[in-house]
């Protein structure tokens, strides 16, 4: 069963994220949320999600931290409506922007054409969609790449473009599935700081999927710890130090305390 909340999701359903003019959705941001209640899912009789509940709202960043194969991407796909759950509820208000593990950038389209694709598919005028996307290129640090093709960009730059693409679908709530998992560690660190910075500018709610303990502590306001499959939420941890200056977290003593606590719990 599924429940919906608020007018924003009417017609959108769980078939996927709904495309709305970016300007509209950004103003409606504060009421947006996603909630999963006791979501269960098996593949071929093998239980993967065994009653997972979680919530993200407002402009918080919430991490779902769990080992590879525990069903994090499966949960994402259920939330976006790509696959059905066997049981439990998904509730959400607002539109969901979804950034996959892998870059969803078409190699035959420029970065501008790629990030505006959802709007074009939704029937928007190309020039209007581009005008809307334009200012964010600078904000997200990819100005000058508008007319480049994906293969001309580095992995980190492609991630930024993917993030922009998801953000243009919805500036309310974003699901990021291991956004930096495929990057080298130096680029990953740079991109984490970039995300903190961008997040502060646009104030969107983020549900971040990761298997990296340090990434979860660095970026999150709250962390859900997932067990191995069949997985449930094993623990929920509030991360409340340097909440407004997350980039300073990495070198503070609290960081180690949180890390120890999470590692003990896993």
Partner 1 sequence: MKTVLTGSNKKRRWRDALYPVATVVAVVAVWELIVRAADVPAYLVPAPSAIALAFVSDFGLIASHARATMFEAAVGLSLSVAIAFGVAMLMDNFPAVRKALYPLLIMSQTAPVIAVAPILIIWFGFGALPKVVIVVLMCFFPICVSLTDGFAETDKDFLDYFHLIKATRLQVYRHLKIPHALPYFFAGLKIAVTYTVMAAVIAEWLGGNEGIGVYMLRAKQSFALDRMFAAIALVVAVSLILIALVDLAARRVVYWKAGAGEGGVGE
Ligand X SMILES: Nc1ncnc2c1ncn2[C@@H]1O[C@H](COP(=O)(O)OP(=O)(O)O)[C@@H](O)[C@H]1O
The one segment of 35-43, 114-122, 225-233, 247-255 that binds partner 1 by CB under 8 A = 114-122
Q: Which is nearer to partner 1, 57 or 165 (CB)?
A: 165
- Write down the least CB distance from residue 145 to partner 1, Å: 7
**On the CB side of 20, how many CA atoms lie within 13 Å of its CA?**
23
- Shortest distance (Å) from residue 43 CB to ligand X: 3
Of 10-18, 64-72, 195-203, 219-227, which part binds partner 1 (CB under 8 A)? 10-18
Q: Buried b / exposed e across 169-195, counting CB within 10 Å, b at 16+?
A: bbbbbbbbbbbbbebeeebbbebbebb
Task: Tell me if 73 contacts Mg ion by CB under 5 A.
Answer: yes
Smallest separation (angstroms) from ligand X to the CB of 209:
7
Cα–Cα nearest to 195, from 33, 61, 27, 34? 61
Measured between alpha carbons, how far is 162 from 190 in angstroms, rounded to an integer?
16
139 binds partner 1 (CB under 8 A): no
Q: Indicate whether 88 belongs to the interface with partner 1 (CB under 8 A).
A: no
| 147 in contact with partner 1 (CB under 8 A) | yes
From 2, 21, 58, 82, residue interacting with partner 1 (rule: CB under 8 A): 82
Q: How far is the CB of 140 from partner 1 (least distance, A)?
A: 13
Q: Are 260 and 251 in contact (CB under 8 A)?
A: no
Buried (b) or exposed (e) across 57-70, using 16+ Cβ within 10 A?
Answer: bebbbbbbbbeeeb
Geometric angle at alpha carbon 195, from 192 and 199, rounded to 5° = 150
Q: How far is the CB of 178 from Mg ion (least distance, A)?
A: 6
List phi, psi (to 5°) of 64.
-110, 110
The SS3 of residue 7 is: helix
Q: Does 42 bind Mg ion (CB under 5 A)?
A: no
Q: Which helix (H) or strand (E) holds 42?
A: strand 33-43
Identify whether the C-beta of residue 129 lies closer than 8 Å to the C-beta of residue 182: no
Instruction: Tell me whether residue 72 or residue 119 sits nearer to Mg ion (CB atom).
Output: 72
CB 191 within 8 A of CB 46: no
The yes or no reply on residue 190 touching partner 1 (CB under 8 A) is yes
Summarize as ranges the residues that interact with ligand X (CB under 6 A). 43, 48, 66, 68-74, 229
118 contacts partner 1 (rule: CB under 8 A): yes
Find the part of the chain contacting partner 1 (CB under 8 A) among 142-150, 203-211, 213-221, 237-245: 142-150
- Tell me which of partner 1, ligand X, Mg ion, none is bound by residue 68, counting a contact when its beta carbon lies within the kind-specific cut-off of 5 to 8 angstroms: ligand X
Nearest residue (CB) to ligand X, 103 versus 172:
103
198 contact partners, CB below 8 Å, separation of at least 6: 139, 140, 141, 163
- Residues near partner 1, by CB under 8 A: 15-19, 80-82, 98, 100, 102, 104, 106-110, 117-118, 121-122, 145, 147-149, 151-158, 169, 187, 190
Q: Which chain residues interact with Mg ion by CB under 5 A? A: 73
């Amino acid at each position: 069963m599924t429940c919906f909340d608020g007018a924003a999701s009417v017609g959108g359903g769980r078939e996927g994220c709904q495309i709305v003019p970016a300007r509209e959705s950004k103003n409606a941001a504060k009421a947006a949320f996603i909630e999963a209640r006791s979501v269960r899912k098996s593949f071929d009789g093998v239980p993967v999600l065994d009653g997972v509940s979680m919530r993200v709202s407002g402009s918080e960043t919430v991490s779902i931290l769990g080992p590879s194969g525990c069903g994090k991407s499966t949960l994402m796909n259920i939330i976006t409506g790509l696959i059905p759950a066997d049981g439990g509820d998904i509730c959400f208000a607002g539109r969901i922007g979804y950034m996959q593990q892998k870059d969803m950038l078409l190699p035959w389209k420029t970065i501008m054409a790629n990030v505006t694709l959802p709007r074009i598919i939704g029937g928007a005028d190309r020039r209007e969609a581009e005008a809307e996307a334009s200012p964010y290129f600078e904000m997200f640090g990819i100005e000058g790449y508008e007319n480049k093709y994906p293969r001309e960009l580095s992995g980190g730059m492609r991630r930024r473009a993917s993030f922009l693409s998801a953000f243009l679908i919805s500036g309310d709530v974003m699901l990021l599935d291991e956004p930096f998992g495929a990057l080298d560690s130096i680029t990953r660190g740079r991109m984490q700081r970039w995300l903190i910075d961008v997040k502060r500018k646009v104030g969107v709610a983020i549900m971040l999927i990761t298997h990296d303990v340090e990434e979860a502590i660095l970026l999150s306001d709250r962390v859900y710890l997932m067990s191995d499959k069949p997985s449930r939420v094993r623990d929920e941890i509030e991360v409340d130090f340097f909440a407004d200056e997350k980039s300073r977290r990495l070198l503070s003593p609290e960081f180690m305390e949180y890390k120890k606590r999470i590692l003990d719990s896993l």
